[in-house]
Amino acid sequence: MDEQLFFEKLNSLCTSKEIFDFLSSLEVMSDTMASGALQRISEVEMDDSGLKNPGVLENEVFRALCLQFELESSKLSNSGLLNALQALVMLRIDPQSTLMASLLSESEKRLGKGRLTVENLCVLGESLLELESPNCAMLEQIVNHMQEKDIEKWSPREIVMVYKILGVTARERKQYQNLLNKLNSVTLPAVSQLSPNFASVILNSLVVLRQTQTVALVTALCEHSAKHVPYFMDYELVNVLDAFLYFGHREQSFTEALEMHITKSILTMHPQTVCKVMQYCCKKVILSKPIFDAVAESFISSADRLTTDQIAGYIIPFGTLNYLPPSASSLFRKLETVLHTRLSHFRPHTLLNLLHSCVLIQRYPLNFLPKIFRPYFLQKLQAQPPGLNRVVTSQLTQLFLTVTLDCPFYEGPKLLPKYQVKAFPMPHGSCDVHLLKRVKTGLLYLLKKRIYFASEVSTPYFYAVDIEIKLDEDGFVLPVAQREEIHRRIALCVDGQNRFCANSHNLLGEEAIKQRHLQLLGYEVVQIPFFEIESIENCRKMAEYLHKKIFPHTYRLGK
C-alpha cells in the first residue's frame, strides 16, 4: 500500500481495534508504516492517567509488530527505529524488557556512529527524556551532535528538546554555557512562534539551568505566556508560575489573564495548580479578589478531597494578604470542620502556619490553640526543620498575644516565656527609611524640638513603633524621655508600599495585626500611608498634614 494513503487511512482511525483490523488487512508494510501504527496506537490509547486499555498490549497484532522490531532492530531505517522507540516509551513499555533493550542498544550504536539527522536526534532525545532514568551519556552525545549542526536552522521543537536535555544533564556543570548562550539568542526572536507547551518547557529549563542573566528572553517568554494562559495544561501553568517567581518577573497582563482563567476553570484544575497560583499571588503580594473569591468557593466545595498541605496552600494567603472573601463565614466554618476531623494529620509547621494566618484576619482558632501551646507539640516543632527558629517563635508569640489581647476569655494553656521572642521580625513591615525621614522632618517643623517624639521605639509587647508621641492628661505633648504623668501614647505607623499588597491600599496581614494589637495595648494608632504623603512637596505642607492627622482639633507643647 502506498505510504501516503496508509497514513491518511491510519490517522482517520480512532480506536485501537480499528487500527488492528486495518493492519491485519495488509500483507506487507514498511518499518516506517509499522512504527507509525505504533505511534497512532499510543495517541488513541494514552491519556493523562496512563494507558486506557491495558489489553492492547496483549493483542496479537501488537505483539507481532513488537517481535518484528525486536528481532530486526539492526535492519530498521533510522526513522522506523526511533519512531517505534518513541511510541513504545509513550505506551510505558518496560525499559528493561528485551524489546526496549534491543531498540535502545541499536539507537545508541547509531548515535555513536553519527548517523542520525537533526530530526532523528530530536525524536531520540524526546524518548530518552520520557524514561524514568534517562541515559545521561546518550543525552550528552545528542547535545554534542546537535552542536555540530547549524543552530540558526533549528526548529522550535529542536530548540525545546535541547533545552530539556540540558536541564537534565547540565544543571550542575558549566561546559554547556556557550551553547546555552547561543540557544538563548536564537530563541529570543522565535518566542512569538512558540506553542504554550514549548514556552512552558523553555521557562522551566531556564529555571533549572539558573539562567538569571537572560533577562530579555525571560521577559519575552513571560509576556508571551500571558497570551496563552487559558491554553496551558495544569503542569505547564505550574512551570510558568515557578518561572515568574524564580526570575522575580511581574506582568499585569498575565495576572489579568490568570484571573479570567481561574474564575472559569477552577473546578477542573488540579488542587496543586491552585496552590501554585495562590503561592504566586502570596509571594508577589498580588491581592486578586477574583482569584481569592474563586479559591474560597472551591475550598468550600472540595476541602474534603484536599491533602493537608493543599488545605494550607489554599488558606494561608488569605491571612498573608489580609483579605476576607464574601464567603468568609462559610469558608472558615468549612476549615473548622476539616480541622476537627483531620487535625492530627497536619505536619506541625503546616498547622502553625495555618492557624497563624487565621488570626491575621481576626479568625480565632480557639478550639485548636491548646494543642499548639502544649509542650509535646512544641517539641515536635523543634524536632522538625526549620525547628524553633525566629520566624516560628514569632508566630507562636503572636498567637499567644492574640489570645491575651483579642480573646481575654481564653482559659487554655499559654505559651511559656522561653518560647516567646522579645521583638517581632517584620519581613515586609520594616519601615521605609526615606518615608520615615520625611515624616520626622515634618514633625520637627510642627513640634519645634526633637525631644517631643521618638522613632523606631521598642515596646514591652514585642512590637516596634515607627514614631511615638506622649501626651499628658491635658493634651500637652511631653518629652519622650518622660516616664510619669503619661496619659496618652500615640503610635504613628509610617506605612510604605512594602506594607501593602501590590498596587493596592490593602495592608498586609502582619501589619494589620500589629496596628490592631497596638490599639488593644492602649496606643492611639495614627496611620501615615505612603499614598497620602508621596505628593506632599515641602516640609511646611508635611507639617500641616501631620497636624490634621495627629491633632485634628488642636495641640499644645509641654513646657
Give the tens place of pLDDT for each residue, 207-234.
999 999 999 999 999 999 999 999 999 9
Give residue-wise pLDDT tens across range 365-397. Answer: 999 999 999 999 999 999 999 999 999 999 999
Bridging pattern class, strands 454-458 and 488-495: unpaired
Mean predicted confidence (pLDDT) in 402-407: 93
**Grid cell locating 80:** 522506523
Sequence-distant (6+) residues with CB within 8 A of 193 are 156
Distances (CA, A) of 462 to 228, 274, 301, 407, 421: 47, 35, 39, 18, 7
DSSP 554: -
Q: Which helix (H) or strand (E) holds 108?
A: helix 98-112
In this structure, are residues 318 and 357 in contact, taking their beta carbons and an 8 Å threshold?
yes
At 453, give phi and psi (nearest 5°). Answer: -150, 150
What pLDDT is stored for residue 199 in this prediction? 96
What pLDDT shows up at residue 241? 97
Three cell numbers written together for 462: 514585642
Residues 6+ apart with CB under 8 A from 361: 318, 319, 322, 323, 324, 509, 512
Cα 38 to Cα 36: distance, rounded to the nearest angstrom:
5
pLDDT attached to residue 32 = 92
Q: Round to whole Å and give the CA distance between 285 and 278.
A: 10
Whole-number pLDDT of residue 428? 55
What distance in Å separates the CA atoms of residue 525 and residue 514, rounded to the nearest whole number? 10
Q: Domain-by-domain residue ranges, the chain?
A: 1-149, 433-550
Please check the confidence at residue 160 and state whether its pLDDT lies above 80.
Answer: yes
Using 50, 70 and 90 to split pLDDT, how confident is the model at 430?
Answer: confident
pLDDT at 554: 67
Cα angle 465-471-475, degrees, rounded to a multiple of 5:
140
Is residue 425 over pLDDT 80?
A: no
Q: Compare 53 and 231 and report the one with higher pLDDT.
A: 231
Residue 135 above 80 pLDDT? Answer: no
377 Cβ partners below 8 Å, 6+ apart? 348, 371
Convert the pLDDT of each residue in 1-52 to its tens digit: 788 999 999 999 999 999 999 999 988 889 999 999 999 999 999 887 788 8
Q: How many CB atoms lie within 10 A of CB 82?
A: 27
Residues 489-495, mean pLDDT to the nearest whole number: 96
Cβ neighbours around 143 below 10 Å, total: 19
CA angle 257, 279, 394 (to 5 degrees): 150
Find residue 465's DSSP bridge partners.
457
The torsion region of residue 478 among left (phi > 0), alpha (psi -120 to 50) and beta comes to: beta
- According to the model, what pLDDT value does residue 458 have? 87
Cis previous bond, 460, omega within 30 = no
pLDDT tens across 243-294, in order? 999 999 988 999 999 999 999 999 999 999 999 999 999 999 999 999 999 9
Res 559 pLDDT > 50: no
Output the pLDDT for position 431.
80
Has residue 105 got a pLDDT over 50? yes
Angle at 335 between CA 329 and CA 339, to 5 degrees: 145
Chain centroid to Cα 54, Å, comes to: 36
Average pLDDT, the chain: 92
Cα 45 to Cα 18: distance, rounded to the nearest angstrom: 12
Task: Say how many C-beta atoms besides its own lie within 10 A of residue 472's C-beta.
Answer: 16
Predicted confidence band of residue 133 (pLDDT cuts 50, 70, 90): confident
The pLDDT-based confidence of 154 (bands split at 50, 70, 90) is confident
405: confidence class by pLDDT, cuts 50, 70, 90: very high
Q: Which CA distances in Å does 180 have to 127, 154, 166, 246? A: 22, 14, 8, 18
Q: Which of 52, 62, 72 is nearest to 22 (CA)?
A: 62
Sign of the Cα torsion 296, 298, 301, 302 reads: negative
To the nearest 10°, the Cα dihedral for 399, 401, 407, 410? 80
Strand pairing class (476-478; 556-557): parallel
Whole-number Å distance between alpha carbons of 56 and 139: 30
